[in-house]
Copies of this chain bind each other. A is one copy, B any other.
Amino acid sequence: MSATDGVLVACCQLAPRIGEPDFNRGLAHAAVLDAAQRGAQVVVLPELVNSGYVFKGPDEARGLAEPLDGETVGDWAALARELELVIVGGVCELDGDTGALRNTAVVVDPGGLRAAYRKAHLWDRESHVFEAGDRSPAVIDTLHGRIAVVVCYDLEFPEWMRLPALADAELVCAPVNWPREAKPPGERPQEVVRVQASASVNRMFIAVADRVGRERGVDWVGASVIVDPAGYPLAGPAGDEETVTVLARCRLAEAREKRISEHNHVIADRRPELYGPVAGRS
Contacts and interface: CB of A to CB of B under 8 A. Distances in A.
A196 interface: yes
Contacts of A264: 123-124, 153
Interface stretch (A6-14, A73-81, A141-149, A269-277): A269-277
A230 interface: yes
Contacts of A193: 193, 196-197, 200, 231
A1 interface: no
Given A190-B231, A201-B194, A280-B273, A124 B262 contact: yes
Number of copies: 2
B187 A232 contact: yes
A157 interface: yes
Contacts of A184: 232
Interface in A135-166: 135-136, 153, 156-163, 166
Interface string A90-115: 00000000000000000000000000
A278 interface: yes
A134 interface: yes
A266 interface: yes
B158 A158 contact: yes
B269 A278 contact: no
A198 interface: yes
Contacts of A157: 201, 269-271
A125 interface: yes
A263 interface: yes
A225 interface: no
Contacts of A190: 196-197, 200, 230-232
A189 to B, nearest CB: 10
Given A125-B262, A157-B270, A158-B162, A281 B279 contact: yes
A33 B163 CA distance: 46
A232 B183 contact: yes
Contacts of A273: 280
Contacts of A135: 274
Given A135-B274, A159-B159, A188-B188, 4 more contacts: A121-B271, A156-B266, A159-B162, A197-B198
22 contacts: A120-B271, A120-B274, A123-B263, A123-B264, A132-B271, A134-B271, A157-B201, A157-B269, A158-B201, A159-B270, A159-B278, A163-B278, A166-B277, A183-B230, A193-B197, A193-B231, A194-B200, A272-B278, A272-B279, A272-B280, A275-B278, A275-B279
